[in-house]
Amino acid sequence: MKAVTWQGTRKVSVEDVPDPGIQQPTDAVIEVTSTAICGSDLHLYEVLGPFMTAGDVIGHEPMGIVVETGSQVTHVQVGDRVVVPFNISCGHCAMCTAGLQSQCETTQVTEYGSGAALLGYSKLYGQVPGGQAQFLRVPHADYGLVKVGTELPDDRYLFLSDILPTAWQGVKYADVPAGGTLAVLGLGPVGQFCARIGLHLGARVVAIDPVAERRAMASRHGVEVFDMGEDSVEAIREATSGRGPDAVVDAVGMEAHGSPVAGLAHRAASLLPDVVAKPMMQHAGVDRLQALHTAIELVRRGGTVSLSGVYGGAASPMPLLTMFDKQLQLRMGQCNVRAWTDQLMDLVEDPADPLGTADLVTHRLPLSQAPEAYEMFQKKQDGCIKVVLDPKAS
């Protein structure tokens, strides 16, 4: 089959790889009909290279049709239309039962001290072949496949794999009080959904992003948008009685614009041999903390900062004095996808499309154009906000 493979820093290619098959009686194989590129894939593309091996199949936002099931799989059958959560979780361990599927004890990657294995996401998360491919093996398929309806187009369901539950968790963790204000930093796909979910749940939502077309998209859903920079922090504070928003979701993560020194560290790490770069990534402050620092500065005293954006370094300097003095609450983590998919199903199937799933994808391209798509998404060219790859198109 054809699959998108990581080949080196800023280099992916579409290769012929062996078809996946059933390896465990709890596995299923799906034929992929839509598979999106995520901001998290850009971390593999640029920063997390030391944890990748040339040829790794990437991608973790797929959906498709079940074509094969292992002997112990009973909840799905061949022919079912399904979405695949990016966490690989068992559904019955102590963590899964507590709604912490991203910490699943059955699939934790102990070699690296990581939480649950993820599809297509580096050695840190189990080096499991990912979903930007024609076919995908899904472990723990009884729990790891979410059955969906047959009527609506793929885009209505696809984002249940990652960014919709991620945004939902980010906003839930932000814990905005009734009638309060939520600020969203970053209006990529995750930030777009955070902002819309904030509005849907009754908050006033303000947001910052340096890219004009991303601000325009958020603005047409009712978000008050601001460009990146000092003035925006001041303007948002003024617009919130001088106090600042009640909560801030950071939907940017470790590759924020505006952190030049850490940007250099990222580039240096990506050029070093893996034996040197791996410990450097794990033990040094490689994160670009611009967005996180903005969140801490912006939020009102006693407010909550919720990190949806991914951070990866170990010794990144943090303004603890300010955090302590402002009495902040900080929540974060990979999304526990299966904790939220059931309640989100009603929203994605609502004919009124309250979260605007039909207004996010800017590019639908054949899988074969993945290299161009990655470059375009990373460089934010051609108005690109979200790309869906189609393995059936040529």
Q: How far is the CB of 336 from ligand NAD (least distance, A)?
A: 9
Binding status of residue 38 toward Zn ion by CB under 5 A: yes
Q: Which does 189 bind (CB under 5 to 8 A by kind): ligand NAD, Zn ion, none?
A: ligand NAD
The CB-of-337 to Zn ion minimum distance in angstroms stands at 10
Partnered with residue 206 across adjacent β-strands are 183, 224
Closer residue to ligand NAD, CB minimum distance, 15 or 46: 46
Encoded tokens for 367: 């899988």
> Kind and range of the H or E element at 165?
helix 163-174
Q: How far apart are CA 13 and CA 56, in angstroms?
A: 10
Per-residue contact flags (x/-) with Zn ion for residues 81 to 100, judged by CB under 5 A: --------xx--x--x----
Distance CA 126, CA 121 (A): 7
Q: Give the nearer residue to ligand NAD in terms of CB position, either 134 or 357.
A: 357
Residue 290 is a binding residue for Zn ion (CB under 5 A): no
Binding-site size, Zn ion (CB under 5 A): 9
User: Does residue number 104 form part of the binding site for Zn ion (CB under 5 A)?
Assistant: yes
Q: What is the DSSP letter of 272?
A: S
Q: How far is the CB of 183 from ligand NAD (least distance, A)?
A: 10
Least Cβ distance, residue 275 to ligand NAD (angstroms): 25
- Helices 39-46 & 370-379, crossing angle to 10 degrees? 100
Report d(CA 279, CA 295) in Å as an integer.
28
Instruction: Report, in Å, the least distance between residue 14 CB and Zn ion.
Output: 19
Cβ-closest residue to Zn ion? 38
Binding test (CB under 5 A) with Zn ion, winner from 162, 209, 250, 255: 162
Amino acid, single-letter form, for residue 310: V
Neighbours of 316 (CB within 10 A): 16
Long-range residue pairs from 102-111, CB within 8 A, at least 24 positions apart, any chain: 102/333, 102/334, 102/335, 102/336, 102/337, 103/336, 106/140, 107/139, 107/140
* Residue-wise burial string across 233-245, b where 16 or more C-beta atoms lie within 10 A, e elsewhere: bebbbeebeeebb
Nearer to ligand NAD, 26 or 336 (CB): 336
Distances in whole angstroms, Cα of residue 327 to Cα of each of 137, 149, 185, 393: 45, 45, 20, 52
How far CA 313 is from CA of 110, 188, 285, in Å, comes to: 18, 22, 5
Least gap, CB of 295 to Zn ion (angstroms): 20
Q: Which does 185 bind (CB under 5 to 8 A by kind): ligand NAD, Zn ion, none?
A: ligand NAD
Residues 6+ apart with CB under 8 A from 345: 146, 148, 160
Binding site for ligand NAD (CB under 6 A): 38-40, 42-43, 162-163, 166, 185-191, 208-211, 214, 228, 251-253, 256-258, 290-291, 294, 308-310, 334-335
**Nearer of residues 189 and 313 to ligand NAD, judged by Cβ:** 189
| Binding-site partner at residue 310 among ligand NAD, Zn ion, none, CB < 5 to 8 Å by type | ligand NAD
Contacting Zn ion within 355-394 (CB under 5 A):
none
Binding footprint of Zn ion on the chain (CB under 5 A): 38, 40, 89-90, 93, 96, 104, 106, 162
